[in-house]
């Protein structure tokens, strides 16, 4: 499903070595000598999302006859802010109403889609939109809401230095955009785990 070997590992290693030199470090000292290779392997893992076949994730669906809201919440994710290449991480929540055919995907696939788009240099808003659009494009649902809450280390350990500041983004598609009642029900399921009717 995911090949993490699409990156040019040697190029990453050269870049890391250069960065260490730029930082005034000796890249040949004992503690750092294997660091370029370690970083390259780590990058293949944490930025391996582009190698995931998102279409393939939705190749199996189930006839659940479901016409109600499905919510998977508190999906942990880790990404890299594309401006500073520092982590941002938090939780994703996905709510959707299946299309008229009542078909659903396996719930793990929603978490896999989050990973596929999170594991690359990203903006939180774009990440949220890409997850929502993937669900729209592959399940043709009546509506989708994706909410993401994250802490950005570029705001925490450097720059403005505001530890604990959380950024929430949402992407609303289809019926959830048109109906405030349905949207409120999705938000209530996401944030309280309860139905409001």
Ligand X SMILES: Nc1nc2c(ncn2[C@@H]2O[C@H](COP(=O)(O)OP(=O)(O)OP(=O)(O)O)[C@@H](O)[C@H]2O)c(=O)[nH]1
Bind-site residues for Zn(2+): 81, 84, 154
Of 44, 23, 115, 125, the residue nearest 82 (C-alpha): 125
Active site residue 82: yes
Residue 184 exposure: Cα atoms within 13 Å on the Cβ side? 5
Mark the segment that binds ligand X (CB under 6 A) among 7-15, 23-31, 154-162, 184-192: 154-162
Active site residue 124: yes
What are the backbone dihedrals phi and psi of residue 38, each rounded to the nearest 5 degrees, phi first?
-65, -45
Burial of 88 (0-12, 13-18, 19+ CB in 10 A): buried
Q: Is 154 in the site for Zn ion (CB under 5 A)?
A: yes
* Residue 160: contacted member of Zn ion, ligand X, none (CB under 5 to 8 Å, by partner type): ligand X
Instruction: Tell me which of 125, 140, 178, 184 binds ligand X, using CB under 6 A.
Output: 125
Between residues 153 and 177, which has the closer beta carbon with respect to ligand X? Answer: 153
Q: State the CB neighbour count (10 A cutoff) for residue 193.
A: 10
Active site residue 151: no
Cβ 97 vs Cβ 141: under 8 Å: yes
Sign for the pseudo-dihedral over CA of 49, 53, 58, 60? negative
Between residues 50 and 123, which has the closer beta carbon with respect to ligand X? Answer: 123
Cβ 136 vs Cβ 97: under 8 Å: no
* Residue 46: contacted member of Zn ion, ligand X, none (CB under 5 to 8 Å, by partner type): none
54 to 113, contacts with Zn ion by CB under 5 A?
A: 81, 83-84
CA 125 → CA 58, 64, 142, distances in Å? Answer: 23, 31, 22
In the complex, minimum distance from the CB of residue 20 to ligand X, in angstroms, rounded to a whole number: 21
Q: Is 159 in the site for ligand X (CB under 6 A)?
A: yes
Residues with catalytic function: 81-84, 124, 152, 154
Could you list the residues that contact Zn ion (CB under 5 A)?
81, 83-84, 154
Could you list the residues that contact ligand X (CB under 6 A)?
81, 83, 123-125, 152, 154-155, 159-160
């Amino acid at each position: 499903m995911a090949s993490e070997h699409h990156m040019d590992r040697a190029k990453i290693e050269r870049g890391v070595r250069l960065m260490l030199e730029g930082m005034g470090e000796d890249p040949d000292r004992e503690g750092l000598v294997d660091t370029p290779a370690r970083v390259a392997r780590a990058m293949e893992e944490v930025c391996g999302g582009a190698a995931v076949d998102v279409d393939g994730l939705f190749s199996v669906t189930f006839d659940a006859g479901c016409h109600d809201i499905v919510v998977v919440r508190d999906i942990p994710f880790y990404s890299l802010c594309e401006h500073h290449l520092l982590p941002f991480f938090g939780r994703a929540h996905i709510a959707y109403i299946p299309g008229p055919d009542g078909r659903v995907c396996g719930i793990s696939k929603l978490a896999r889609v989050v990973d596929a788009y999170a594991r690359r240099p990203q903006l939180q808003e774009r990440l949220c939109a890409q997850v929502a659009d993937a669900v729209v494009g592959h399940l043709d649902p009546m509506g989708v809401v994706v909410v993401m809450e994250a802490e950005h280390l570029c705001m925490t350990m450097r720059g403005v230095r505001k530890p604990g500041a959380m950024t929430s983004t949402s992407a609303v598609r289809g019926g959830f955009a048109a109906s405030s009642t349905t949207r409120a029900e999705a938000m209530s399921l996401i944030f309280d785990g309860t139905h409001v009717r």
